[in-house]
Amino acid sequence: MDRLDATREELWERLRDIAEGVLEARTEWNPHGGMGLTYSDITDNLKDISLTEPLNVEQAKIVPFAQRVMWAAERRAEGDFAPILKILEEIQRESACQSVSVPTERSVAVSEAALQDTDALTFTKLAEMHTAERSGDWQLNTIKTKKSAFKTLGLLLGDIDLRNHTRKDMTDLKERLMVGRKVSTANKLMIDLSTVMTWAEDNGYIEKSYDKGLLIRKGAESEREAYTPHQVKAIMEYANGLPLNSWQRWGLSLGVVTGARIGELHQLTTSDVFKDGDQLVIDVNEKEGKTLKNKFSVRQIPVVAALGFDVEAFEKFAQDAQGPLFTMSLSSFSSLLNERLRFILNLESKSGLSFHSLRHHLAGAMKAVEVNEGTAQGVLGHSSGSITFDLYGSGRSVQVHRMAAAINAALCGES
């Protein structure tokens, strides 16, 4: 999606590879969302791309399909395979590339060769058997991608006999994968590893696989683009200079001081802005037909007087609205705010920075001042077992004031 010369064939090949990876990866069910929230974040990124980035015709056509793949991936993470299977059928029909057929004899020959070798059943041998069995269903680009990943994994695992491997072998592999690679790249390799190991276990080549639960969470957030403290101050200085009745003033500054998603802010109404005791909050909810990313997005976010944000003026703006605070369409709201951000900071359209980057900035700022994880996730609307404990263990009002203190510490700590 970052190349205007990307061809139709390349795009559909890549989309099919992603969809097959979603289907083949074994995921552990998590009552707080788990991988489903990761897929949901990718959906947000795709929306940002469609609203702000230059695209060729084929890229524009594929965005809705890519969003559907991520939606189907969330359902697959909940145990529902039907949507991802349906989208794979559609991708197959759309794809201009022909499947590459691999003779059945090769599959049998490789399998027998590996089984006859009693010295060691290495990952390389398992990957060869897996590829021989599955490659008849894969596109050429998928075969190339998987062979490259399997080669990397085979070199790192070496001569370990996977019939006798241990959990430590897998955790050691994870550590080696993290050296010199982005978290997203290491995680993709771990998913490819899991695909082969699950297949080997299901087919009786190994008794048990110890690769589960190794996806890297820590550090994934740091790879996402975020504004610097200097850029955020410039944004707030610009916003604070706009008229008090300017919707752009409040759209920009709310993004800075609340970390809310652009769609959450766009849906705010007068009734969603009120005081909890002496603390002004915005209520992110699903009332009156509003739509949110997931159930964890429902929350109250304190509005604080950080970086010059005028809390009283915003409260008056909300009351004067007598209904929706922002009356234009979501597409216009998003594209205009993103254009204004690029104007303020003199950014290129492909800078990797967008309105969503304000959210990542606040997340990073809270982490930098060591805000409690449950409190930070309460502000951002992520899943966490600790959120439930905080909310029901200490009371909603206490939690709102705790979040306000956290946001103040994060934003003012950068001054």
C-alpha 343/C-alpha 131 separation (Å) is 50
Q: Could you tell me which of 379, 385, 388 has the C-alpha nearest to residue 406? A: 379
Which residue blocks in 6-34 are alpha helix, DSSP H? Answer: 8-24
Same domain for 215 and 241?
no
- The number of folded domains in the chain is 3
Report if residue 77 sits inside a domain.
yes
Higher-pLDDT residue of 396, 38? 38
Last residue of a domain, one of 28, 59, 94: 94
- The mean per-residue pLDDT over the stretch 130-149 comes to 78
Same domain for 301 and 187?
no
Token pair of 44, please?
Answer: 């947000």
How far, CA to CA in Å, does 272 sit from each of 175, 313, 323? 46, 16, 9
Report if residue 127 sits inside a domain.
yes
Report if residue 99 sits inside a domain.
no
How far, CA to CA in Å, does 126 sit from each of 10, 200, 203, 320? 28, 7, 11, 66
Pairing of strands 299-302, 273-276: unpaired
C-alpha 61/C-alpha 68 separation (Å) is 12
CATH label of the domain that carries residue 368: 1.10.443.10
Higher-pLDDT residue of 39, 265? 265
Domain span at 12: 8-94
Last residue of a domain, one of 177, 194, 222: 222
Q: Could you tell me which of 124, 118, 111, 14 has the C-alpha nearest to residue 59? A: 14
Share of the chain above pLDDT 70, in %: 79
CATH label of the domain that carries residue 123: 1.10.150
pLDDT at 248: 94
Report if residue 103 sits inside a domain.
no
pLDDT in tens, 358-396: 988 898 888 888 888 778 888 888 654 343 334 333 445
C-alpha 360/C-alpha 100 separation (Å) is 42
Same domain for 218 and 229?
no
Same domain for 398 and 272?
yes
Least confident window among 48-57, 141-150, 201-210, 406-415? 48-57
Report if residue 41 sits inside a domain.
yes
Least confident window among 169-173, 182-186, 260-264? 182-186
Same domain for 217 and 345?
no
Last residue of a domain, one of 222, 243, 261: 222
pLDDT in tens, 219-276: 444 445 678 899 999 999 999 999 999 999 999 999 999 999 998 999 999 999 999 8
How many CB atoms within 10 Å of residue 109? 12
Same domain for 25 and 143?
no
The residues, any chain, with a CB within 8 Å of residue 258's CB and separated by 6 or more, are 265, 282, 301, 303, 362, 379, 407
Higher-pLDDT residue of 144, 362? 362
pLDDT at 12: 84
Q: Could you tell me which of 140, 341, 137 has the C-alpha nearest to residue 248? A: 341
